[in-house]
Structures are given as C-alpha cells and as structure tokens.
Amino acid sequence: MRLPPLPTVSEIVHLYQLTARKQLAQNFLLDMNLTRKVVRKAGSLDGGFVCEVGPGPGGITRAILNTAAKRVVVVEKDGRFIPGLQMLADASEDRMKIVHGDILQFKMEQIIPETYRVPWEDKPPNVHIIGNLPFNISTPLIVQWLEDIANQSGAWSFGRTRLTLTFQKEVAERMVAPVSSDMRCRLSVMCQYLCDVSLKFGIPGKAFTPAPKVDVGVVQFVPLMKPRINLPFKMVEKVCRHVFHYRQKMIKHSIATLFPVDMPELTAEMFERSDLDPSSRPPQLKLRDFSKLCSAYNDICCQHAFIFDFDYRSRKHAKLLRRGRNTLIEKLEEKSLVDLPETESSDVEVPVR
C-alpha cells in the first residue's frame, strides 16, 4: 500500500512554518531512510493496528502508511501538526485517524478494535505502538506503560502488545544494561523483569531537526508471558527505587531507607529472608536477587501494614517519628485503612496478602 505523491516532510515543515519547540523537547526525524528503518524494526505490520505516539510532521507516519497496516491512529499533542497530518489521513484511504491529545492522559484501549484481542498466553497481537518520543516524557511514559503491562491493562488488555520507541541513547542503554554494567539502574530492572528489551540501532543526533546534543536509540519491548518478579508493580518499583538510591554503596544502606530509622531490625530481617549479602552493590544484583528482596519486603509489609506507606524522605513522617514510633505507626495505619479498596483490583497499591 503506497501513498499517492505528496509534498515531502521537509516541504510540509516549510509549508506550515513548523518549528520544534524546546519546551516540548521536539526533534523532527525527516530522513525517510531512517523512518522506514524504525518501522521495519517494529516487525510485520500487515493487517495490523498501529498507534503512533507524537508523529509531529509525519515522517514515521508516512513509513507506517507505506506498509500494509490496516489501521493507523496517531496521537499528537501539538495542534500545529494537525493540518499536515490531515493531508496524510486524506491520502490514506480512511486507514488513518488523528487524535489531538496528550499521550500521558490517553486511554489507548478505547481505540483498539476488539478483533485484535488475544489471550495473554498467545503470541503478541497484531497491535503495535511506535513513536519518536520527546525526551522530556519518554521515561515517565515508559514507566506508566510498564505498569499497564504488569497489570495487563490499557493497550495490554489486548495481549502482549509490542512497543518500538526512540529514547535518548543513554536512557536506551540503561534499559538494556546487563548485570554489573555501569549503566545498570532502576529502569534496567523495571524494563527487564516485565519485557524482553532490545536496542535495535542508534541514530546520530545530527539526523534530527534541530539536532539534539545527544544520540538516540531505538528500543523494542516485547512483554513476557510471565514476569520475572511475580509481585505487584508498585511493590517492585519501590524496592528498585530504594536499592538504586545509593547505587555505588553497599545495599544495606539502600535497604535501610525502606524502614524508619529506629527499626533497624527490619533491615536485618530483609537480608535474613532474602539470603543476600548486605555488602553487595546494586548493579551486581540479578533479577532473581531483586525477586528475593521484593518477596522479603512484601512479607514484612504483610506483618506491618504501615511500612509500605512509609517514606523516609517525607518531612511529615520524620516529624511524626520524632514524636515516637507509635505516633508514626498510628498515622500510617490510618492512611492504610482509608486507602484500602473495597474490592480487589489489579493495580492495588498495597502489599500482597
């Protein structure tokens, strides 16, 4: 399926006087050889549904429409790009729809046809999410989507939907960083415990308009049939965040931040339950080590319900703790009771009971 002759993307940019907005971290990819390569790395789109995030002037959009994709929906926040995208939609023979909105607030499950739904245990559905993401939303967006993957919600209520996305090269390398790598971080564990993650190729910054000071990496995520850590996302995310808080120090210092300072016995219990060496460094931990830490923390939270809501950085919690441990416990237990849902939910922010 080929598009009819149209103005080039560069001509569209000139025609509508489109300039990249620094506050939106916009960088246009106008080289059609590179946009086609991004789309090829997503796999076969024949007969598939594609959601493109942040199409901008439509470089990657054109490459998608030149495949045999059956339906393409683009989500664009900046209204300046809508006229140029509408030109593509008009030429696409009703295969393309434009959504003017913020992808961070967008409910993708509302636009995916029911015919694409498959069981989670089957092969990934013929649904693809592709995008040249603005740097300023790329990390919060992928964390939001990882939570949806963990809960099998949103676009992942249709099965193990694949993502092919661009990130700042350093962020991309962190996502795929192996154990003991200098790049290993919280994001490495969060991505790898839920997905097979691969860095497909790099794009030099000079290929973009305007050229960013950093290079870009194209990363693909394929959700796993079974997560490598079988606990709620919020539980795993909190443990990982704390472990890498002092990434160059021994993990005993990081783990201690999960608990009030006057409860060191719980830190000792974490290591007793997980059977890990307190002198280990965060980048040295394997996914099964994180699984042990998360399980140990979950068990402790089940015994002491208030612990999960404790935040060592909170001034309010520090003030309550100075009044005495019981005062802190009472306030946190009150919060836990208020937040406790009446019915079970896949995204409950409470420990597994």
CATH number at residue 281: 1.10.8.100
Give domain status of residue 352, yes or no: no
Residue 128 lies in a domain: yes
126: nearest Cα among 221, 45, 63: 45
Residues 62 and 40 in one domain: yes
Residue 237, in any domain of the structure: yes
Q: What is the pLDDT of residues 118-139, one digit of tens each?
A: 999 999 999 999 999 988 899 9
Assess whether 169 and 245 both reside in one domain.
Answer: no
> Domains in the chain: how many in total?
2
Is there a domain that residue 289 lies in?
A: yes
- 344 inside domain: no
Residue 17 lies in a domain: yes
Cis peptide, bond prior to residue 210, ω within 30 of zero: yes
**Which residues form the domain of 169?**
9-223
User: Same domain for 291 and 259?
Assistant: yes
Q: Kindly report the average pLDDT of the chain as a whole number.
A: 88
Say if 350 falls within a structural domain. Answer: no
Is residue 175, in this structure, part of any structural domain at all? yes
pLDDT band at 212 (very low <50, low <70, confident <90, very high): confident
Query: What integer pLDDT is reported at residue 28 of this predicted model?
Result: 81
Q: pTM of the prediction?
A: 0.88
Domain end among 223, 246, 278:
223
- Per-residue pLDDT, averaged over 152-176, amounts to 97
Interval 109-126 mean pLDDT: 97
Do 205 and 239 reside in the same domain of the chain? no
**Do 186 and 215 belong to one domain?**
yes
Task: Give residue-wise pLDDT tens across range 50-107.
Answer: 999 999 889 999 999 999 999 999 999 999 899 999 999 999 989 999 999 999 999 9
Instruction: Give the model's confidence band at 326: pLDDT under 50 very low, under 70 low, under 90 confident, else very high.
Output: low
Domain boundary among 188, 223, 258: 223
